[in-house]
């Protein structure tokens, strides 16, 4: 699954560690999600969407798998 | 002014530092930072080693069957504590770390089970093996390798 988290994070000027802290996960988890190695759980995906103030489907693209 | 440290205290401190380092590699912490294992975990690990030593030494001096079983099972007390701490550690992990842990434990459990079967076959074939001893050393090593592999694959 592709996602736009890296772009959204960059737009906020946050590091992976900053985002990890806001999501209460590890920096490694943020990195794995950004690189498409790991698909987040639904609660975490909603948390990410809420944090960036965007609908979940505008951040995650389920159509194309990695 | 620096205090004088006895060789025994220096050795104990070195052992503690080594164990901290070992567990900070093996046990990732709650939300995602690599943890040094808690002092509680290290304490119970040391208690386990001590219980093994005491049990081993104690068995030489106990003759009757029931007390011998009691002495032999002495290490189970810290084992129970370590299991509880381990469950608490996993519950404190974030979702990716939990996945890595699940993959590592699944690989370790399956390989251990299948390898025991292979050991029995080898024993039938006349190869002298000590599966308990091999497992005692091999299972932690296998877990570390499996966890490293899971990290490479998923993280």
B13, B69: one domain: yes
Pair B41, B88 in one domain: yes
A59: in domain = no
Spatial separation of the C-alpha atoms in residues B148 and B155, rounded to whole Å: 10
The number of folded domains in chain B is 2
Q: Cα–Cα distance between A32 and B40 in angstroms, integer?
A: 31
* CA-based nearest distance B154→chain A, Å: 6
The count of structural domains within chain A is 1
**Does the residue A61 lie in any domain?**
no
Mean pLDDT of chain B: 83
Q: Which residue has the higher pLDDT, B39 or A41?
A: A41
Q: What is the CATH number of the domain that holds A7?
A: 1.10.260.40
What is the share, in percent, of chain B residues with pLDDT greater than 70?
Answer: 77
Q: Which residue among B94, B153, B154 places its CB closest to the CB of A26?
A: B94
Please give the average per-residue pLDDT across B35-54, as a whole number: 86
What DSSP line would sit under chain B, residue for residue? -PPP--HHHHHHHHHHHHHHHHHHHH-B-GGGSBPPPPHHHHHHHHHHHHHHHHHHHHTTT--SHHHHHHHHTTTHHHHHHHHHHHHHHHHTS-HHHHHHHHHHHHHHHHHHHHHHHHHHHHHHTT----HHHHHHHHHHHHHHHHHHHHHHHH-
Phi, psi of A61 (to 5 degrees): -115, 100
The predicted pLDDT at position B23 comes to 47
* CB pairs < 8 Å spanning A and B: 41
φ/ψ of residue B4, rounded to 5: -75, 135
Residue B149 has pLDDT above 70, yes or no: yes
A44 CB within 8 Å of a chain B CB: yes
For residue range B51-67, what is the model confidence (pLDDT) as tens digits?
999 999 999 999 899 99
Give the domain extent around B124. Answer: 94-155
Residue in chain A lying closest to B99 (CA): A38
The answer to the question of residue A30 being in a domain is yes
| Domain identity same for B110 and B150 | yes
| Contact across the interface for B97 and A29, Cβ inside 8 Å | yes
Whether A6 contacts A59, CB under 8 Å: no
């Amino acid at each position: 699954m592709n996602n736009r988290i890296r772009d959204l994070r960059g737009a906020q000027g946050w590091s992976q560690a900053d985002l990890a802290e806001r999501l209460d996960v590890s920096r490694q988890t943020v990195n794995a999600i950004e690189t498409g190695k790991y698909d987040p759980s639904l609660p975490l995906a909603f948390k990410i969407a809420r944090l960036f103030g965007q609908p979940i489907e505008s951040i995650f693209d389920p159509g194309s798998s990695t | 002014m620096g205090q004088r440290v006895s060789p025994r205290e220096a050795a104990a401190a070195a052992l503690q530092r080594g164990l901290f380092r070992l567990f900070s590699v093996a046990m990732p912490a709650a939300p995602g930072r690599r943890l040094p294992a808690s002092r509680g975990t290290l304490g119970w690990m040391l208690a386990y080693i001590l219980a093994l030593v005491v049990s081993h030494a104690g068995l030489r001096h106990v003759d009757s069957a029931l007390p011998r079983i009691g002495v032999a099972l002495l290490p189970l007390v810290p084992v129970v504590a370590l299991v509880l701490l381990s469950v608490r550690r996993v519950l404190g992990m974030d979702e990716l770390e939990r996945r890595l842990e699940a993959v590592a434990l699944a690989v370790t459990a399956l390989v251990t089970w299948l390898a025991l079967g292979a050991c029995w076959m080898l024993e039938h074939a006349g190869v002298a093996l000590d599966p308990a001893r091999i497992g005692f050393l091999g299972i932690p090593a296998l877990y570390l390798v499996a966890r490293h592999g899971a990290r490479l694959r998923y993280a």
